[in-house]
Amino acid sequence: MKITVINGSPKAVKSNSEILGNYLSSLLKENKIKKYYSISFNLNDKIRNEIYSSDVLIFLFPLYVDGIPSNLLKLLVEFEKEKVIKSGSKIYCVVNNGFYEGKQNHLAILQMKNWCEKVKAKWGQGVGVGAGELLPYLKKCKFGKGPLKNLGKALEKFSDNILTLKSDENIYINQNWLRILYFVQGSVSWVLKARKNNLRVKDLFRKSGKL
């Protein structure tokens, strides 16, 4: 099976989307996989043919204002205009966010599904991952175990659907992590970043123009 993976994160490498892509690739490793980054994407005839001939396209991206990041949105518009997507290709996506709840990604997944219909492709499935900011700190954890248990189960089912070209209900997961602990850690990280930039805690609460 020929699979194209497009990372839609503005960060590209060292992003949470990249981490999710690596987990997913380990479950699809027997297949031919081509990876691209939307932030540095340059459409030429070779890449156009690679994408057009793909059986599956997988989009990985972070949630931006409840939607698709602008750099990826621009690429989707270009794909539509240039007719890069073959009719009947299967489209899947994995969206992550900084909120605790994976369900927060549902509008972005719906946008991808609508675009899929616009280019006459076939919608496969979307996965919404909550607390994406935890991922860089869980690299030493075994995939599918402990804090990554829910993510492992979701991506295993997701990869099975991809390999069988199956369409299925979208999956939304929360990480195996205490909600209150996630928010406390997030608050502490802002304080540490403020101090690193010679700011005081109260500076974080000042309104624009009053610093």
For residue 99, pLDDT beyond 70: yes
Residue 42 is predicted with a pLDDT of: 93
For residue 185, pLDDT beyond 60: yes
Domain ranges of the chain: 2-177, 178-211
Residue 209 is predicted with a pLDDT of: 60
Q: Where are the beta strands (DSSP E) in the chain?
A: 2-7, 32-37, 56-62, 90-96, 122-129, 171-173
Q: Which residues contact residue 122 at a Cβ distance below 8 angstroms, ignoring those fewer than 6 apart? A: 88, 89, 90, 91, 116, 167
For residue 117, pLDDT beyond 70: yes
pLDDT, the chain, mean:
92
Contact between 133 and 186 under an 8 Å Cβ cutoff? The reply is yes
Lowest mean pLDDT among 45-59, 76-90, 188-202: 188-202
Residue 210 is predicted with a pLDDT of: 56
pLDDT band at 179 (very low <50, low <70, confident <90, very high): confident
pLDDT band at 208 (very low <50, low <70, confident <90, very high): low
Query: What 8-state DSSP symbol labels residue 98?
Result: S
Distance CA 131, CA 148 (A): 11
Kindly report the CATH class assigned to 2-177: alpha beta
Residue 23 is predicted with a pLDDT of: 98
For every residue of 132-154, DSSP letters joined together read GGGGGGGTTSPTTSGGGHHHHHH
Higher-confidence residue of 6 and 186: namely 6
For residue 211, pLDDT beyond 60: no
Which is it for strands 56-62 and 32-37: parallel, antiparallel or unpaired?
Answer: unpaired
pLDDT band at 201 (very low <50, low <70, confident <90, very high): low
